Every structure is written in C-alpha cells, then in structure tokens.
Amino acid sequence: CHMSRIEEFAKRLHGAQKQRKAVPQFKENESFSLKEAYEIQHALINERIKEGEALIGIKMGFTSEAKMKQMGVSEMIIGQLTTSMQYQNGGDISQSNFIHPRAEPEVYFRLSKDITSPISLDDCLDYIDGVGAGIEIIDSRYENFKFSLEDVVADNCSSAAFVTGILHEPKADLKNLHMKMEVNSEQVEEGNSNDILGNPLKSLVAASELALKYQIPLKKGMIVLAGAATPARFTNENENINASVESLDSAFFRTTK
C-alpha cells in the first residue's frame, strides 16, 4: 500500500510520541510548505482519532514575545487538543508520558458557540462562557526542541498535555492581569496577561482566523489555550507546578516518575 508523503511524516511524529523518542527535525533535510505542515498535523490528529480520541480544543502558539524569543519562531500557530491530553486540575502527571516535557502558564477560554468565520475583538464575549488559568505541557517530538515554523506546526505545535483551572465568568477586560508560575511554591516565571498579544482575547480572534484558514473546527464547549505568557520550563519528577492568573485562580499538578 502506498503511503503519501504527508502521512509518512505524520506516522514518524506519532511514533516518536508513542515511543517517547525524539526524531531529528524534518526541515534540515526535507522540504514542505506551511500548508503541507498543517496537512501533516491533520494526519497526525487523525491517527489519534483512529485510536478512539476526540478533539476537545485548540491551542495557540507564539502569541507572546517571551515564547517567540525562547523558540526562535515568530509567527502565530494553531494546534489541536485531544482527549488523552487533558489531565485533571490538581492531579498527578507522570513524567514517563513524555520525552522532555516543559510547562508554561496560559489563559484559557471555553467556547459557548461554534465559530465558523473570523470574529472581531468586540465579538469575543459572545463566543465564550468561561475563562481561567491553564498550564500547557509542551513536548516537542524533535530532538532538543529544535524546529522550524513548518516542523513545529506538523508536530501539532509541540502540544502534549494540559490542565485547566476553575472556570470563571468571562470578563470584558482581561488586560494587565499578573501571571506567575511556581515550582514547589517558588516562583520561577512571572508575566502578565498583556504579554499575550496585548490582550488574551486577541488570541481568540487570531484563532478564529487560523482555524478557518487551516480547517480546524472550533466547536461549542471546546477549550482554547491562548498561548504562554512566559518562557516554558522543563519539569522534573516530584514537582508541584502551579500557574496563576490574577483574579482567575490557578491551574496545578504534581509530576511523578
């Protein structure tokens, strides 16, 4: 049977995730476009869906200077969240699920309606019924977290797991909220909701545009991770990781072996 080039890339990334073994970045030796990168991402998500998973949200990436600088990529990207990636707030997460996990503090939204065309900043509150603090665990399937824009998009934007804190009533003004990440009660990263595009709601606007462009569904009830406000940090065994957003409480988990 003949496997397409797109499917072949997707299988390599899916295998890397399942075996917890990173692969060299593709773009060093092979060439594909950004459009093809999103096709690879869809094929990769399809592998998960064939295994019984469902799509439960999306994640935005590189919506802050801190993240763009840390990873050397400066274009916004969108990835997809599936059932096995969601962990309970306050629960344990085993390091053995990942290759080289990093945690990052995020703001998340819950969609109150399907979004089928680009929305404006003024529309945002009509499309969400909740907002809160979240943590994303990113785990690039590439060696040393080294990738190009196309590589990271193909790899579902490094997404591996996420935790969401208590859902709050949506507020029109989510600007200038202090954010911090703590490891074992010690602050390791500090930021502000303004670091996410000047206003995390702008990440939802960007998501509505990218989702339409790359045929990613935005459905009622889905989670939208707006992107990290600070650089991501490697996690180790036996750490209590806590990310909080001023007035929105926190998301947290404990890492185990």
Rounded to whole angstroms, how far apart are CA atoms 36 and 153?
9
Per CB under 5 A, does 189 bind Mg ion? no
Tell me the residue ranges of DSSP E strands in 124-239.
128-138, 159-164, 178-183, 186-192, 223-228, 233-234
Rounded to whole angstroms, how far apart are CA atoms 83 and 151?
23
Identify which range of 27-35, 112-120, 193-201, 222-230 contacts Mg ion by CB under 5 A.
222-230
Q: Which is nearer to Mg ion, 6 or 193 (CB)?
A: 193
Task: Name the 3-class secondary structure at 115.
Answer: strand
Question: Shortest Cβ distance from residue 236 to ligand OOG (Å)?
Answer: 18
Tokens of 143: 């060696």
Residue 62 touches which member of ligand OOG, Mg ion, none, C-beta under 5-8 Å by kind:
ligand OOG
Per CB under 5 A, does 197 bind Mg ion? no
Tokens of 7: 């499917």
Question: Shortest Cβ distance from residue 144 to ligand OOG (Å)?
Answer: 11
Rounded to whole angstroms, how far apart are CA atoms 84 and 139?
14
Q: Which is nearer to Mg ion, 58 or 228 (CB)?
A: 228
Binding site for ligand OOG (CB under 6 A): 59, 61-63, 67, 71, 104, 136, 138, 140, 145, 152, 157-158, 227-228, 232
Q: Give, to the nearest 10 degrees, the angle between helix 5-19 and helix 34-50.
A: 60
Residue 13 touches which member of ligand OOG, Mg ion, none, C-beta under 5-8 Å by kind:
none
Question: Shortest Cβ distance from residue 231 to ligand OOG (Å)?
Answer: 9
